[in-house]
Amino acid sequence: MIHRPRRLAHRGFVDAVGLLVDRASGERDARARVLSRWTPGTAVYALGGRYAVIFAGTRRVRAEQCEGAPLVRCPGSGSGASLSSTAALSRAEVDALLEDGARPDQLAIVRGGLVETLSLSTASLVDPGAWIDLAAVTLVEVTSLGAPPRVVVAPPEEGARPAPAALRPRDPAAMASALSHALGAMVARGELPASALSHLGALEGSSTVAPAPSPRGLGATLKALWSSLLSPRRRSAPSDGLVRALPPPPEAAGAQAKVAAAPPKSPWWDRLRGWFQQRVAQPAAQRVQGDAQSRYLERMIEMFRKGDLDEALRHALPLGGAAPPGAPPKPVTWAPPQARDALTIRLQPSTHSTATGGSTLHALLRSLYREAVTALEAEGRIDEAAFTLAELLREPGEAVALLERHGRLRLAAELADTAALAPELRVRQWLLAGEPARALGVVRRHGVFDAALTKLADDPAHSVALRRLWARHLASVGDHAAAVAVGSSVADLADEVEAWTDALLALGGPAAVRVMVRRLADRPERFEALRSRLEALAGEEGVGARAERAVFARAASEAKPNEALAMAARMLARAQARDAARHGEQEDLQTLRTLVSLSRDAVLSEDVPTWPTFARVPPASGPAAWRRTLTAADTGPRAVYDAVALRDGGALLALGEAGASLRDRDGRERARLDEPTHRIVWSDHENSALLLGARGASWRVARLDVARATSSPWGECTLDCFAQDYDGDSWVVGQEGEVLALDATAGEMRAMGGPGRTPRTDHARVRCVGRDRAGVAAVRVLSVIERWRWSLPGWTLQEKPLEPLRPADREAVAVHPSGTTARRSASGAVEVDRGKSLPLVELPHPAGTQSEVTHLTSDRVVVARRSPDAVTVLLWSLSLGRSLAELRLEGATSARARIYGDVLTACDDRGRVLSVDLRSGAVLLDLRA
């Protein structure tokens, strides 16, 4: 049977009865994914190139982040008819499959856009225990040193009577034969799988039937209570339809019995409470509640039918779904529902269970509520109609649309926030409500600027307002390149875009070069204003300058040619010819040819010389590491606790209680900031920083504007750990076991957002945290060690695996969003874990040294290795397994180093600061504080 479903896969959270795990990625990976979801009672079947993992019940899973394709029961139109499918099948599609011969015990999967059915009755059951390799295990025969146990004979109790003759089968063989024929007929009709016949062996060989239980008197009841208290509670049978339709063969039952043997005993009070809840509370509640709730529902329904909507809405019951899998059962309420005092939208789940279930009643109430919405809207009672949609029908999206349609814009925005609707919808609602600050907050927390623009495609005025809002915010956090890109299309931002462009040009770098090309292409008359910057770019030497000229060549090739671009290309071509002839690299020669072509100068084209080229091997890729030693006599006047290299060749130095210092490339102090600084948190945009002064267990934090060379205090806080860079908008920290994103633009220190999945717990701590533009990772320690990873924007949880067991003396000291984790032992040795698929990297650890990880990327780690007479800064490549750079600082007792791109910057407590470009091995900065 072949069908083309409209929706090929499930999306979001679904109640899965199992998973379909593809084995195409490798048997080892497939088994690992199966075992990650396996629990006692789970059945695993081999279906060709797949494993079908059938749960003992339903589980709430997120389809996009699941280990395999979720199998979900898709109901048909008929009563009880359904199929387990990896596709989100509609009722009509399920009915079509059933009419074509599909059976409820089969699985519907999607292959090549088409639906196929697979039968588990013909599949082979897999025992995951067989995957454990026992080849290295040696079995040793043992004998008891004591006497063998004494055989105890238990004589039959006096007064024991056989079962009544009426309860015993007259002909057990005939009964078994009749049962065999009946089951065979059901298998032939497809009502049962063929494996059901495998259970007949035990019946055919049995000649007796257990006696039926007799009615209980008071003594029997007390005995049952005593047994219930002294024995563990029995597990309830799986309630899932797929599991009931597929009884496991005998070997599966044996495997499950082994796993479920000897369950742990629960406390006696839990068993007493469970017995009381099941035997006394629930039956009594059903008897007491049934009549009271029935009368309540009858009155409520009668109110709706009479049109008394005021009282009906006060007495109406919200419609809700079933409790999520694994959630504890709700306590039974003994009182009937109570009328509400006011029609307030709360969107809170119910806290007690009631006896008002049933699909027929649910459909009736839904119909009454829908009719009430229509009537209330017609009468102009918009708030009551929105209440009915949001609170009773649990359709907040429809309620928001209704309120917007009738001009209740602020209430619609508040409801969208309360219901946690899609962030882009909430941005639109707050803009419509005239509160752009609230809209900006949603964009910042969820990173939905592009999605919100799409949502506002039919509303040009608010679309322009969002662009203006977002461009100004980007400029305020230092991302001038993005601000120019967003704000260029907003007419009234022309002057501000010009100022942002000037700030970007002053900062320099590839982004500034691209903006320069755009300005020359759009406004050729600005050539004279940009001449000094072009001359500076032409006069600079080194790898960075050649790379920026290559960026100019590529950007100018894509722009519309004019005379200003031609003159700029002519100026840069002469400088590029000088550097290309000196270095002889093929990339430099190609850039020169592009610049000559852009200059449109025939004479210059004829004068371009030729020279041989060769492929230069950077120090980071060469066979030997870059090495340098600074002697103990070569020191500065004061200690440097942290340092960052600036794009213009200068540096920002942390001088402890002496403050922070901005230096030029020749070492002259440009500005001194009167803020205690022991650590620097550097901005991705390289124009701002956070200055951290140690205050015991706390940190005093100040904000620095590099371009203006000004600082301002921000506040003090106690932190478990913090990221050593930020995006100018938010700073990721760990505080009391919780990962937070502090709002770096706020006047006071406050959390702007975060994952919301690491609850604050007593004694929990975040040991380390790392971030980049794409994600955040953190290692959290409580009773176990967890490594959390989120993707940005939106803080989507990617994984939360437990850290693998390590020796007790090793702790995580650094983590990267890619999952790379650095650990340090008590002896000072460092190891880096890159995940299960890559080997563990152990860094060299000479005797008598202590190592500190100062910076970690996905492929490199920077370590300060302290010995009695020096500190050695070591840059290690994780993929190459060797050192890329080593800087020995003699006489130092502490040092810090960090790497951004291909530039390594190091400093120590003897006042020495050095920065090296690993592409060429050139020392960019060498100063003494």
pLDDT reported for residue 150: 63
Does 598 score more than 50 pLDDT?
Answer: yes
pLDDT reported for residue 245: 36
User: pLDDT of 867-887, one tens digit each?
Assistant: 999 999 999 999 889 999 999
Quick check: bond before 213 cis, omega within 30? no
Confidence of residue 761 (pLDDT cuts 50, 70, 90): low
pLDDT reported for residue 580: 74
Structure tokens at 696: 């015991």
Alpha-carbon distance of 823 to 853, in angstroms, equals 9
Nearest CA to 442 out of 469, 458, 421, 424 is that of 424
Does 215 score more than 60 pLDDT?
Answer: no
H, E, C per residue of 105-119: CEEEEEECCEEEEEE
Summary mean pLDDT of the chain? 80
Structure tokens at 493: 């931002």
Alpha-carbon distance of 869 to 910, in angstroms, equals 13
Does 617 score more than 70 pLDDT?
Answer: no
Mean pLDDT of 341-354: 65
Q: Based on the number of CB atoms within 10 Å of its own CB, is 927 exposed (0-12), middle (13-18) or buried (19 or more)?
A: buried
| 411 vs 837, higher pLDDT | 411
Alpha-carbon distance of 894 to 907, in angstroms, equals 9
Spell out the domain ranges in the chain. Answer: 13-131, 422-492, 508-607
Mean pLDDT of 641-661: 93
User: pLDDT of 483-496, one tens digit each?
Assistant: 998 998 899 998 99
The rounded percent of the chain whose pLDDT value lies above 70 is 76
pLDDT reported for residue 256: 38
| Cα–Cα distances in angstroms (integers) from residue 197 to residues 46, 181, 182, 463, in the given order | 20, 10, 10, 67
Confidence of residue 137 (pLDDT cuts 50, 70, 90): confident
User: pLDDT of 175-200, one tens digit each?
Assistant: 566 666 666 666 666 555 555 555 45
pLDDT reported for residue 186: 64
- Three-state SS at 923: strand
Does 726 score more than 60 pLDDT?
Answer: yes
Mean pLDDT of 499-507: 87
pLDDT reported for residue 850: 93
Cβ contacts of residue 367 below 8 Å, gap of 6+? none
HSE-up of 648 (CA within 13 Å, CB side)?
Answer: 20
Mean pLDDT of 30-36: 89
Q: Based on the number of CB atoms within 10 Å of its own CB, is 413 exposed (0-12), middle (13-18) or buried (19 or more)?
A: buried
- pTM assigned to the model: 0.64
Which of 47-51, 185-189, 736-740 has the least mean pLDDT? 185-189
pLDDT reported for residue 115: 83
Alpha-carbon distance of 69 to 74, in angstroms, equals 14
The rounded percent of the chain whose pLDDT value lies above 90 is 34
Long-range pairs, 253-258, Cβ under 8 A, ≥24: 255/127, 255/129, 256/40, 256/41
The residue whose two tokens read 């639906």 is 115
Nearest CA to 907 out of 891, 895, 893 is that of 895
Structure tokens at 729: 């908008």
User: pLDDT of 84-122, one tens digit each?
Assistant: 888 888 888 888 888 887 887 788 888 877 888 888 878
pLDDT reported for residue 534: 87
Strand-pair category, 669-673 with 679-683: unpaired
Does 476 score more than 70 pLDDT?
Answer: yes
